[in-house]
Structure 1
Amino acid sequence: MSIVKERRFPTAGCELDGDLTLPDGATGVVLFAHGSGSSQHSPRNRTVADTLHRHGLGTLLVDLLTSDEDVQDVRTREMRFDIGLLADRLIGLTDWLSTSGETAHLPVGIFGASTGGAAALVCAAARPEAVRAVVSRGGRPDLAGPALVQVDAPTLLIVGGDDEVVLELNQQARAVLAAVAELRVIPGATHLFEEPGALDVVAEEAGTWFTKHLR
């Protein structure tokens, strides 16, 4: 049985809406870093989270922008690419997970998508003792900048085979990462993995990676 707790989570000088789900006997907890134009309610994130729960992993899904910021971002589309802002909030949430009585005993992983993949890697570089694994779905690891070479956490990069530009960027990032890193290419999938069965493959790959490294 999973316990779902909806609340506001303090981080980086603000509070963010989200929900924490902890299956019985959870062996780790995965923080989600959604990408551009997405949120904690994204069906894609929820699909992956459900699979992680079946793997015995907890999840923390949070809107990384406040409601006011989200309104501004819809108009300008700028804040979703503010990797520093997103990473600072992930760092604060990682600190919360590492100190909260509910989750302090659980190793932490981060699942990032699109620009959230870059923020996840910056957070992993900033909190090497806390973040034990990273999975990036259609991510932009190139936007992590110099933090990319500082990542210690085992990292799985998942990219659609037909997402050609992002695939090339991930291939370049894989060559730069000093940590254990693997690249999984999903044949026929595009950036959002909307093709039949593509997201299910992503979710299972993520579940296997986190189960292996969050011990």
Structure 2
Amino acid sequence: MVNERAETSPVCMPADGVMLNGDLGMPAAPKGVVLFAHGSGSSRFSQRNRHVAASLRARGFATLLVDLLTVEEEAVDLRTAEVRFDIGLLARRVASVVDWLGRASSTAGLGIGLFGASTGAAAALVAAAERPAEVQAVVSRGGRPDLAGGALPRVQAPTLLIVGGADTLVIDLNQQAFEDLRCEREIIIVPRATHLFEEPGALDQVADLAGHWFEAHVAARGRAIARAS
């Protein structure tokens, strides 16, 4: 397991007309920053995403875990489960946070990757389509990329879809989305893993796959930009 020492600081940012809370982790000399888009009733306190984030920081990436819903919206969502499927709203907020990362003094100039889980994966893909110059890579963990709909062919960022081998319904949905994507893309099935990747070692595989994907695309592009300037 990755040592999850408290290497994060609380941040608050404007997004889509509201203020969102997040936790920003900054390793020394970050090679890029990865924004986590949660979904399906999860939050920035998700132990699964925090585990992946810690692994990415160990590789030299800054991480931002952010709640895409306000406290009031989360209260409504707990009763109705409606807001978590509002992909348009979630995507607007992901795009707004991408813009914030480009302005914030600690992250301005860093290449940006998006890591989405469940419905957050759809929001990440829609945001990537809306911010092609800023978002350099997308990783989906057990996501619902199919919910990105007509945005999928417009995604330019290299996209990795990770699905559990025992999550048969979501495998089918990811394969459908894979066919609609026109960017560099890959789908990887983690054998015997279920939807939440709770099996021993399954989440470590996700973290390793995501780390390699972001190193190949976010870090490499960041170095190329630096050389060009």
Distance in 1 between the 2:7 and 2:134 partners? 23
Quote the offset at 1:155 in angstroms. 0.2
1:156 to 2:152 alignment? no
Partner of 1:180 in structure 2?
184
1:57–1:2: structure 2 CA closer, same or farther, 3 Å change rule? farther
Deviations 1:99-150 (A, max 9, x none): 2221111000000000000000000000000000000001111100100000
1:2–1:129: structure 2 CA closer, same or farther, 3 Å change rule? farther
Range with greater deviation from structure 2 (153-162 or 9-18) = 9-18
Q: Which letter maps to 2:45?
A: H
1:48 to 2:52 alignment? yes
Partner of 1:145 in structure 2?
149
Can you give the 5+ residue segments of structure 2 that lack an aligned partner in the other structure? 220-229
Q: Which letter maps to 2:88?
A: G
Distance in 1 between the 2:202 and 2:154 partners? 31
Q: How does 1:89-108 map to 2 (within 5 A)?
A: 89-108=93-112
1:162–1:3: structure 2 CA closer, same or farther, 3 Å change rule? closer
1:74 to 2:69 alignment? no
Equivalent position SS for 1:214: helix
Partner of 1:19 in structure 2?
23
TM-score by length of 1: 0.98
Range with greater deviation from structure 2 (132-141 or 170-179) = 170-179
Quote the offset at 1:4 in angstroms. 2.6
Q: Which letter maps to 1:38?
A: S
Percent identity, please.
59
Partner of 2:35 in structure 1?
31
1:199 to 2:203 alignment? yes
Equivalent position SS for 2:26: strand
Residue-pair matches, total? 215
Deviations 1:46-88 (A, max 9, x none): 1000000011000011111100110110000010110001000
